[in-house]
Every structure is written in structure tokens, then in C-alpha cells.
């Protein structure tokens, strides 16, 4: 059975990194953007990382510019923004596509295992759903990710165990991570 350990990605400098390097750790894989309404998620993500990284936990950050152009700039510019504004220390990888014909195979896999089930109820979620549908029409059947800051929780064996849309409260994400860490 395929796991995240079967994938290789590029770090922000363009070097290949095997996700098997993270074997035995709990992972939170996130597609991010620097100019999104959810960009403040970097704060609770970094807090979680600082608190839990010594318990074999890693956050893997994959910027994507596919959502209304909200991640402009080079890999280095994005990295500088995140480290200066939010103090991020978790690994940040090269900017990728998460939808369409050019979608990174990792995100295609993650979203196939845990498909999009909606943003939830409420006015804000309904508005995001409408905006996301317009943005994602161009990807058709290859729309894997609904919006920036979608998070996938991976167990120590490399299995995808949960998906959190950006509208899920970060406290709920942290609780799931802490439960999996044990």
C-alpha cells in the first residue's frame, strides 16, 4: 500500500527530498500562501511546531499560487516573508501546483486518500465555497485541494489519517495532532 514515504519533493532550493526521511514522525502537510485570509494560520502552526517538534512531529509547508494568485514571489521571497513575519522554523518546500494537470503527485495522492468534503456550514464557509468553485473550475476533475491552508495529518507509518480544510479551527487540528503523537 502506498504511503507518503513513496514520494520525493523539492526543497525551496530545488533539491530532491525523499519523504521517507521523515519516517517514524507524525506529519502535518500543508499547502500555504502568503497573501491569503488564512495566512495567519502560520502563527498557530509555528506555535504547535515549537511545542511538539521534540516529540517527532514535523510540519511540511508547500506554498501554492493556484488560489487567486495568493502566493506570488520566488521560493526565497516566500520563505523570507514567513520567517520574518511569523518566525516559522518548520521545513518549507518549493512552490508547487496542487490542482490540475501539473498538480504535484504528493497532493494528488493526499487528496485521493482524503477527498474534499466541503468547507463546513456557516456564512463565511459558504462564501469561501462559492469563491473556491469559481477559482477551481479550470482544474475540472483534477481539483484536489479546495483552498490554501488545507492540512493533511500523517501517522508515523506514513498513512494519511485526516484532512482539515482551512475553515477548521486550528485548535481542532492541534488536538488531532496531539492525540496522534500520544
pTM: 0.94
Using the predicted structure, report yes or no on whether residue 171 has a pLDDT greater than 90.
yes
pLDDT digits (tens, 9 = 90+) for 75-98: 999 999 999 999 999 999 999 999
- Cα–Cα distance between 146 and 122 in angstroms, integer? 17
**All domains of the chain in start order, with CATH:** 4-181 (3.40.30.10)
Residues 127-154 have a mean pLDDT of 88
Which residue blocks in the chain are alpha helix, DSSP H?
42-52, 75-86, 105-113, 123-136, 170-181
82 is catalytic: no
| Cα-based torsion angle of the residue sequence 140, 104, 161, 146 in order, rounded to the nearest 10 degrees | -40
Please say whether the beta carbons of 91 and 29 come within 8 A: no
In this structure, what C-alpha cell is assigned to residue 79? 520563505
Residues 32-47 have a mean pLDDT of 94
The rounded percent of the chain whose pLDDT value lies above 90 is 81
Catalytic residue among 17, 36, 68, 113: 36
Q: How far from 15 is each of 11, 18, 93, CA to CA, in Å?
A: 5, 10, 9
Amino acid at each position: 500500500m502506498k504511503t507518503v514515504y513513496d514520494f520525493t519533493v523539492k526543497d525551496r532550493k530545488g533539491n530532491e527530498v525523499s519523504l521517507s526521511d521523515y519516517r517514524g514522525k507524525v506529519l502535518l502537510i500543508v499547502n500555504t500562501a502568503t497573501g491569503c485570509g488564512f495566512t495567519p494560520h502560520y502563527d498557530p502552526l509555528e506555535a504547535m511546531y515549537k511545542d511538539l517538534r521534540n516529540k517527532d512531529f514535523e510540519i511540511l509547508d508547500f506554498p501554492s499560487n493556484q488560489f487567486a494568485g495568493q502566493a506570488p514571489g520566488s521560493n526565497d521571497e516566500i520563505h523570507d516573508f514567513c520567517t520574518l513575519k511569523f518566525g516559522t522554523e518548520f521545513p518549507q518546500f518549493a512552490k508547487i501546483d496542487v490542482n490540475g494537470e501539473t498538480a504535484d503527485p504528493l497532493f494528488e495522492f493526499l487528496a485521493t486518500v482524503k477527498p474534499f468534503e466541503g468547507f463546513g456550514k456557516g456564512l463565511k464557509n459558504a462564501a469561501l465555497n462559492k469563491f473556491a468553485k469559481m477559482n477551481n473550475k479550470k482544474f475540472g476533475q483534477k481539483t484536489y485541494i479546495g483552498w490554501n491552508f488545507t492540512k493533511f495529518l500523517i501517522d508515523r507509518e506514513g498513512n494519511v489519517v485526516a484532512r482539515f480544510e482551512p475553515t477548521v479551527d486550528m485548535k481542532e487540528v492541534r488536538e488531532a495532532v496531539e492525540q496522534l503523537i500520544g
